[in-house]
Structure formats: C-alpha cells, structure tokens
Amino acid sequence: MKTNLIVFFATLLLLFAGTANAYNYLYVSDPRGWGSIQGTIETAGISVSPKGLYTEVGLYLTFSAKGWYNNQTDTLETVYYFDLPENSVVFDSWLWVDNQIIRGKIMDKWTASSIYENIVKRRRDPSILTKTGSNSYQLRIFPLVANQTRKVKLSFLIPAQWSANQVLTSLPMEILNVSRTEIQKLSVITYPSDEWKEPAFSNHPEIKFTEETDEKSDRFFRADLPASYVSGKLTFSVKSPMKNGIYVNHFQNGNEGVYQMAMIPRDALQIYQPVKIAVLIDYTASNSSLNKQDILATVKEALLSNLGTRDSFNLIMSNLNITRVSQTWMPADSGTIGQVFRSLNENSFSNYSNLPVLLSNGIQFVKEKGSDGKVLLVSDDSQNGTYTAGNQLVTDLLKLMDSKIPVSIADYNENYSWQYIGNRYYYGNEYFYTNLSRMTGGSFQKTDYSNPLPKVLSGLFVSLGNFLSSFDLYTDVTGGYCFSRFYLNTQTKSGYLNQPIYEIGKYKGQFPFTAEVSGEFEGQTFSQAISVSEESSGTSDSLSEEIWAGSQIRYLESLNQSNSVVNEIVNLSVTERVLSIYSAFLCLEPSRGGEVCYDCMDESGPLSVDGDTERESADSLIQAYPNPFNNQVNIVISLPAGTDYTQVSGAIYNVLGQQVKTLKLASGQTGSKVKVSWEGADDNGSSVATGVYFLVVELPGKRLTHRLTLVK
C-alpha cells in the first residue's frame, strides 16, 4: 500500500514538474501566518571547478530578514526558489548550525518533508532542498531569527560549452537577483590546474583573477566583482584542453569506470569547409535590458566559441551611416577577434535602429566578396513586423541577391508588441524574420527566459556550419566495452560539423579509448576510428559518477512512472547523492540526527563570505606569541570599539576542520584587549600532535582566523 501511495504522489510530482513556471524568488515569513517580506542575501560567494563536460559550482549564501516589521526576535522561515541551467545536477546542501557545517542527508522527499514540517512546529534547526521542476528548486530554512542570519552552501554541476579554444560556463547569476537589497560584492574563486588553465570571464575580460594563498598555504585564484556585475551575465572560461577536436577524461572505481567525451566533428575528422559570416548588429536601447557592452561581449564570445582559424568574419553595425569594421573578410582566429573587439566601444553603433539599411549593407558586402558568405543579424528592432512592411522589406532584400545568401536572425527584442497575421499572433518583427530566414535558407531564433542571447547565438552559429546528413558514433575500450551512454546535448544521427558532441558513459576495460565515427557528408561516406591513449586523456574524480547519475535520473524521469521506475530513481538518487524530483537534502541539528561534517572544505575564508569579515583583519586584531610555539602560545585579541566581550568566542581547530579546544576568554571592558593562552591540549586535557592549527575568533558580524604552529 505504501509503495502505491508513493507512486501516486510521484506521478503528481512529475506532472507538476513538467508544468512548473521558472522563476527565482526569496522571501521570509512567519510560519504562524503573521506576514512575509522579501528576503535579503547579505553575502554571496562562488567557487568554480571544471570537471570535464560540467563545471562544479559551490554557492555560498547568507540570508537575513532585513526590514522585518514585527518583533526582532521572531522565528521566521526562509524560502528560496531558484532555477538552474538545463541538465544541471544538484549533489549537496550544507547548513551552518552554531558555526559548524551540517551536510545534508538525502532521502525520499516524503520522509524529508514530514521530518522538516514536524521540526518547524517544534522550532528546531533544519533546512530542506527539493527539486520542484525539471530545472527548478526550492530551499527552505528554519528558523531565521529576524535580527540574525543563516548561512548555506549549495553544490551543483552546470553543463559547459566546448570549443577548440575555450570551455565556457554561464554562471546562473539571475538566482542572485532576488535580494531585498543589492549584493554589494561577489567573490569568485577557482583553483590552479595543469588541465584547466587561464581562468577568466570571457564576457568581462577587464575582471582579472589574481593568485593568492589561504591560511593553509593552498593556492587559489580569486576575482572580486562589484555590485554592478552581480546582476548581469557572467561566463567563466578556461583554455580548452581539447586536442585535434576531441577530449576524453575518465574516473576508475574498481573494475568499472566513467568516461566523458567532447568532440567537434569538424576538427576530429578533418572534414572542414571554411565558413564566412557577416555579423550585423542593430540596437534599440528602449527595446532590451541588455546594454551595448553586453551585446559586444556576447557576439565576441560566440565568435571565439564557434569559428576556427580557417573561418572568416566581419562586423557591420547600425548607425546613421552604416559602419563596416573591415572592407574585407577577416580571419576568425582568437588574436584577430580580440583585437577587433578591443577597438570597439558603446559609440561603435547607435541607440536607434536602422535595420533596412543595415541588412542591405550586409547583403551587399557578401555579394561584393563573391556571395559565398552568410549573414547573421543580431537585432532588437520591432518596427518592421507588420504584414505590409515585412513583405515589402523581404521582397526588396531578395532583389539585392544574385544568388541566395542565407540570412539568420537572433532577435533579442523585449518590447512585446504584436500583430495578428494569418490566424496567428506574431511578436515584434517575428513575421518579417520568419519569412526572410525561410526564403534565404537561414534560421531564426528569438530570446526568452530559457533561451538568453548567448544560447541563441550559439545555436545559430552551429546552424551556419556545414551539415552532416548522416552521422553515427560508437565508443569502445580495449579488452572490454562502453555502456549506459548518454548524449548530453544532441543526438548523433545527423548534425553540423562544428556542433560539439558531448557523451558520458560507463566502461569496463582499459584504455586506449576509441571513438568510431561514420556518416555521410555532401554525398560522400566516411568512416574513421579516433584513438585516445590513457596518457593523453584527462583524469576526473568521483563527481563523474554524479554527472552520469544525473543523466540516468533524467532518463528515468522521462519514462512511465511505474513502481519499479520510481523506486529506481529514489534508490539511485540516494546512493549517488544526486537530487531528483522524488528526493530531498535535509540538514538537521546534531541533536536531531544531523552530522557535523569535519572534512567539508569550507571556502568562506578565501571568498570572504561572512559579512564584514576582511581577510587581513585577523593580523591586525590578533597577536599570537611565540608562534611557532612548543608548550604555550599567548593570544591577544583587540576588540573593535563598541564590542561586547560576552559576545566573543574562540576555538582551536586542526587542519581537518575538527574543533580540538574551546577557549575561555577572560573578561574585559568594551573596546579592550582580551587575553588567553593555549598550552597545546584538547578539551580533555590530552596533548595534541605537532602541526598546524587554526585559532578562530567569532565577533558580532565578524570571524577572524589566525594560523598557529605547534612544534614539540
């Protein structure tokens, strides 16, 4: 009977997941029903780490009820709705309780929800993270005292976009744009790697990563973003480790392993026909929330990601007099693209549309150069969408062509005026764009919530490449086989030469890894075997298993939800710690069964995510001498003016993050110095081993950390 009920509710959940609206929202409310307000994100920090086809993201958030209008000691609930990119994988949730990290337990959603609701009634300390739609999630935290804060970490994997030059990950910045007050600063950190080099933000090259070391002398790269960048798009990039059009990494666990493969057929098969693309930029300031720098950065990113050194491009921009960046085709190498965009600024094109003249100029340019190029229009114009205007403009543009010149269009217009034509509604210039692209052999895509301009441009650039009418891919290893394969972004029956193929699967056997590729291109059949040795492949970690599990769960959720399918989803979700529509991450205080995570890598220090904490402040407010020490270290803490010493606490931690000693701080006056000593013993009086320890001092709104070295 219980199983049947689970399947019944599971079916309802899946139906709801398919129809849930995507949105991001944060609020805090009194569970007793006494009001709610928009919540505040006091601090935010992001860690990123490439993992192959995916990028690991750790999101640190501190929530508050700033502006709560009732009693400041009210116990409130925080509710955070957020969306992640398609095919993302959520694999962990942390909650800080009394300065200790509680790592979420994963279980079926019904059990977790029941526990959470019962605890909320008893005013305990849980958080629950659930998946509410295909890409939508809900985090609930209780309690949040009105005049205090709660801190969490959410861990997830986001699909990356590969090219021969870069691996790009669009960070979901929109999930931070929910705060009652603006986030003043965002720090992003990543880590040095022999495989993932040159970390940067491809759409904001002016923001630089700087190499630093933390208190454990571990190296990391850090970038600080001011408030103006938090609300925009942010694309993390590293240099592509792809060689000859293919990249493979693997993770071995016993006699079975997981592999990830990215392949660009054009480069891997050496079937290459260069393309020439004239990019036309048209901009009406009142029709889009994007500014000119956003447009330029997005176009630059698309060129770098989708064109090769044998391809060519030009930029033609709308103005009173149409501006051609060049009078000839330019090579699409990264150096030329970078140089061109460094010469551009917000004055390079106008704030008003000159669309008919711009299209005419672009077609004329391609025609002058032999008519073997293609046109890509990037526009938010909305003045040419009526039946009369649209038909006349299409007719005039076709007359300019001696032979058909494909025109593709990326429409990022947000001014949703509409026309009723032929028994349907067309928005903005949709009628005109649809007919122009169809009649010239191009493509048309319009941006929306789930298809922002970078995604639309990526799809259009792919369609501008050469088409493979037939394509088959088979992967194998020596002395064994590959199985349980998933293609993460496309099917492999047909496609475009410059369209990356992403595959993840399991294998039994040994490297070398072989990709056997066959198909048909322009009437000619081909068949090639591409071999990747173990030495030339990358190595991954156990998160490869979570990536595979996420793909398997998505597949299972697409099936008819029988008893066996639902149980398989729940079992796989719990075993691999991957969130599904039927599971939840539940964080509980230790007294209620929660477990303190002593080996969790807390990056709050490098991210400076704890309120007003400054990384250098520990050195100015804490003195420890002698240091190194062998039998006693004397510690002096200078309290900032106005600090109540009764709200100051201190503890000693080892390198594993385990607390070994609670320090009893001496009484003092407001603004005075607090003195304490440590003799190298734990709370039980036993001597601790030689090594590095960390003094952590908690002040109101501030955490200080100081490194101590014990030598015996």
pLDDT in tens, 361-378: 999 999 999 999 999 999
| Residue 256 CB burial class (10 angstroms; 0-12, 13-18, ≥19) | middle
Residue 592 pLDDT more than 60? Answer: yes
Please compute, for residue 169, the number of CA atoms within 13 A of its CA located in the half-sphere on the CB side: 30
- What share of the chain has pLDDT > 70, as a percent? 91
Cα 304–308–310 angle (5° rounding)? Answer: 140
Residue 353 pLDDT more than 90? Answer: yes
Residue 12 pLDDT more than 60? Answer: no
62, two tokens: 């501190």
pLDDT at 121: 67
pLDDT at 15: 40
Q: Which residues of 36-51 are buried (b: 16+ CB within 10 A; e: fewer)?
A: ebebbbbbbbbbbbbb
Q: What is the mean pLDDT of residues 524-537?
A: 92
pLDDT in tens, 169-194: 999 999 999 999 989 889 999 999 99
What does the DSSP assignment read for 323-378? Answer: EES-SS-EE--HHHHHHHHHT--TTSS-SS--HHHHHHHHHHHHHHTTS--EEEEE
Provide the 8-state DSSP code for 451.
B
pLDDT at 595: 82
- What share of the chain has pLDDT > 90, as a percent? 55
Residue 3 pLDDT more than 50? Answer: no
Distance, CA of 553 to CA of 694 (rounded, Å): 41
Distance, CA of 486 to CA of 559 (rounded, Å): 15
Residue 697 pLDDT more than 90? Answer: no
> What's the pTM value of the predicted model, to 2 decimals?
0.76
CA nearest 220: which of 667, 605, 662, 674? 605
Q: What is the mean pLDDT of residues 466-477?
A: 87
Please tell me whether residue 576 adopts helix, strand or coil conformation: helix
Q: 123 or 499: whose pLDDT is higher?
A: 499
CA nearest 484: which of 507, 453, 500? 507
Domains in the chain, please, with CATH?
21-221+584-592 (2.60.40), 246-269+468-535 (2.60.40.1230), 277-462 (3.40.50.410), 615-710 (2.60.40.4070)
687, two tokens: 């001597």
Q: 122 or 19: whose pLDDT is higher?
A: 122
Whether residue 443 contacts residue 463, with contact meaning beta carbons closer than 8 Å, is answered with yes
Distance, CA of 498 to CA of 245 (rounded, Å): 10
CA nearest 515: which of 503, 506, 500? 503
Name the β-bridge partners of 675: 636
pLDDT in tens, 33-77: 778 999 999 999 999 999 999 999 999 999 999 999 888 888 899
222, two tokens: 């850090």
Residue whose pair of structure tokens reads 């001011």 in the numeric block: 226
pLDDT at 510: 93
Q: What is the band of 225 on the pLDDT scale with cuts at 50, 70, 90? A: confident
Pairing of strands 633-638, 467-468: unpaired
Q: 310 or 445: whose pLDDT is higher?
A: 445
Residue 613 pLDDT more than 60? Answer: no
706, two tokens: 């100081």
Specify the range with the lowest mean pLDDT, choosing from 2-16, 218-232, 381-395: 2-16
Specify the range with the lowest mean pLDDT, choosing from 109-113, 199-203, 447-451: 447-451
Q: What is the mean pLDDT of residues 640-661?
A: 76
Distance, CA of 632 to CA of 217 (rounded, Å): 23
Residues 6+ apart with CB under 8 A from 683: 660, 661, 662
Q: 616 or 263: whose pLDDT is higher?
A: 263
pLDDT at 696: 80
pLDDT at 547: 97
Q: Which residues of 425-453 are buried (b: 16+ CB within 10 A; e: fewer)?
A: ebbbbbbbbbbbbeebebbbbbbeeeebb
Q: 384 or 289: whose pLDDT is higher?
A: 384
pLDDT at 544: 96
Whether residue 412 contacts residue 290, with contact meaning beta carbons closer than 8 Å, is answered with yes
Q: What is the mean pLDDT of residues 126-147?
A: 92
423, two tokens: 């028994």
Q: What is the mean pLDDT of residues 626-642?
A: 81
84, two tokens: 């992640």
Distance, CA of 90 to CA of 285 (rounded, Å): 37
Distance, CA of 185 to CA of 224 (rounded, Å): 7
Residue 148 pLDDT more than 80? Answer: yes
CA nearest 517: which of 243, 298, 266, 159? 266
Q: What is the band of 435 on the pLDDT scale with cuts at 50, 70, 90? A: very high
Mean pLDDT, the chain, as a whole number?
Answer: 87
Residues 6+ apart with CB under 8 A from 624: 633, 634, 635, 636, 695, 706, 708
pLDDT at 363: 97
Residues 6+ apart with CB under 8 A from 570: 108, 580, 582, 583
Q: 573 or 4: whose pLDDT is higher?
A: 573
Residue 16 pLDDT more than 50? Answer: no
Q: What is the band of 620 on the pLDDT scale with cuts at 50, 70, 90? A: low
Instruction: Tell me the CA end-to-end span of the chain in Å, nearest whole number.
Output: 64
pLDDT at 226: 82
Distance, CA of 61 to CA of 46 (rounded, Å): 9
> Is it true that the peptide bond before 226 is cis, omega within 30 degrees of 0?
no
Q: What is the band of 667 on the pLDDT scale with cuts at 50, 70, 90? A: low
Q: Chain-centre distance of CA 128, in angstroms?
A: 21
pLDDT at 492: 60
Q: What is the band of 107 on the pLDDT scale with cuts at 50, 70, 90? A: very high
Residues 6+ apart with CB under 8 A from 622: 635, 636, 637, 638, 695, 697, 704, 706
pLDDT at 10: 45
Q: What is the band of 387 on the pLDDT scale with cuts at 50, 70, 90? A: very high
Residue 612 pLDDT more than 90? Answer: no
Tally of CB atoms within 10 A around 402: 7
Query: Helices 563-576 and 2-19: crossing angle, nearest 10°?
Result: 80
Whether residue 201 contacts residue 236, with contact meaning beta carbons closer than 8 Å, is answered with yes
7, two tokens: 């399947």
What would you report as the CA-atom Rg of the chain, rounded to the nearest whole angstrom? 29
Name the β-bridge partners of 153: 60, 94
Phi/psi at 301 (5° precision): -60, -40
